Amino acid sequence: MFDSIGMAMNLFGLDVLSRVLHVGTAITLVGGSLFMAFVLLPSLSSVEDETRQALVQAVRGRWKRFVHGGIAIFLISGFYNYFRAMPKHEGDGLYHGMVGTKILLALVVFFFASALVGRSAVFEGWRQNPAPKLRVMIFLAVVIVIISGFLKIRGA
């Protein structure tokens, strides 16, 4: 009996940690994207070209670590959370369909975010004019948060 209680407490702690990491990462990455789209990029229009390029490179270099680390945390914590929730939603087509949609949207956001901080010449145009892609990412992130909120409130 005590072993099962100890295991349940350990899983509870891991469940809480996973949830905190997942939500904290979302706050950080979505907040950073909002800052860039609506504060940093518009402010750069009043800065000389040479200074602007240097600042953009410096910000991109630092932001890249957050993006790549955040994607890793999202994938690990997201799949952990999903696999822990699956038994509660066995046969629940709406739940699985909405989670599947959320995962697909997240993969699109991960792709956009990676392209915007990456080095591939194919996406240089995106990096030269990142505002439209950032707005798409933010919109998709809002949709993901809406789906997540609905599923959390809806319950098992």
Q: Where are the domains of the chain?
A: 2-154
The per-residue pLDDT for range 18-51, each reduced to its tens digit, is 999 999 999 999 999 999 999 999 999 899 999 9
Q: Tell me, what's the pLDDT at 70?
A: 98
**Helix, strand, or coil here: 87?**
helix
The pair of structure tokens assigned to 151 is: 């599923």
**Predicted model pTM:** 0.88
The pLDDT-based confidence of 10 (bands split at 50, 70, 90) is confident
Q: Which of 38, 111, 40 is nearest to 74 (CA)?
A: 111
CB 119 within 8 A of CB 137: no
What φ, ψ does residue 122 adopt, rounded to 5°? -60, -35
SS3 of residue 119 by DSSP: coil
Of 115, 128, 1, 111, nearest to 53 by C-alpha is: 128
